Amino acid sequence: MKKYILTSTLAALLTLGGLSVPALAGPEDVVVEHAWSRASIGMNRPGAAYMTIRNTGDEPVTLIGLATPLAMMPEIHETKTNAEGVSSMSPAGEIAIAPGESVALEPGGLHAMLMRLQELMTEGDTFPLTLLFDDGGEVTVEVPILGIAARGPED
């Protein structure tokens, strides 16, 4: 009888505990499409990477950072242009992606800034770029390096 009560209590606690755990969007809910970058001009200037990040899950996901062996300081930056036509870039911070929505990292807007390059970005090569999410999830994509004048993944 004691064993039955203990088992029932444990089952009830696990059931209630499971109901109170927030749902987290995992890496399987994030799809990265059309990733690309341009060849770099030496290693003293930063590189950049572009892509579309889609959340196919039922919960929001929040991109909080990047990691790559190619650069010591990869960050999501945003380009803004003021009323006088002067453009500037700054860190974008966390990027929330609602369920069913996508975020485009593209020239002239949000983009992955690859600062303090560790090696030359050479046309025809690829590099791994890991997207880091606030729930501890990670998604790694292999980014192709296109020519220095590329304007998109189709170039």
CATH number reported for the structural domain that contains residue 103 in this entry: 2.60.40.1890
Flag whether 151 is in a domain: no
Domain containing 134: what range?
8-146
State the pLDDT at residue 68: 98
Flag whether 28 is in a domain: yes
Give, rounded to a whole angstrom, the gap between the first and last alpha carbons of the chain: 72
Flag whether 153 is in a domain: no
Flag whether 113 is in a domain: yes
State the pLDDT at residue 26: 60
* C-alpha span between 20 and 71 (Å, rounded): 40
Flag whether 21 is in a domain: yes
pTM for this prediction: 0.80
State the pLDDT at residue 17: 41
* Tokens representing residue 107 in the block: 């020239």
Overall number of domains in the chain: 1
SS3 assignment for 85-149? CCEEEEECCCEEECCCCEEEECCCCEEEEEEEECCCCCCCCEEEEEEEECCCCEEEEEEEEECCC
Flag whether 49 is in a domain: yes
Flag whether 131 is in a domain: yes
Would you state the torsion angle of the CA atoms of residues 54, 55, 56, 59, taken in this order, to the nearest 10 degrees? -170
Q: What is the pLDDT along the chain (155 residues), one digit of tens a residue?
A: 444 444 444 444 433 443 333 344 566 899 999 999 999 988 999 999 999 999 999 999 999 999 999 999 999 999 988 899 898 889 999 999 999 999 999 999 999 999 999 999 999 999 999 999 999 999 999 999 999 989 888 76
Flag whether 2 is in a domain: no
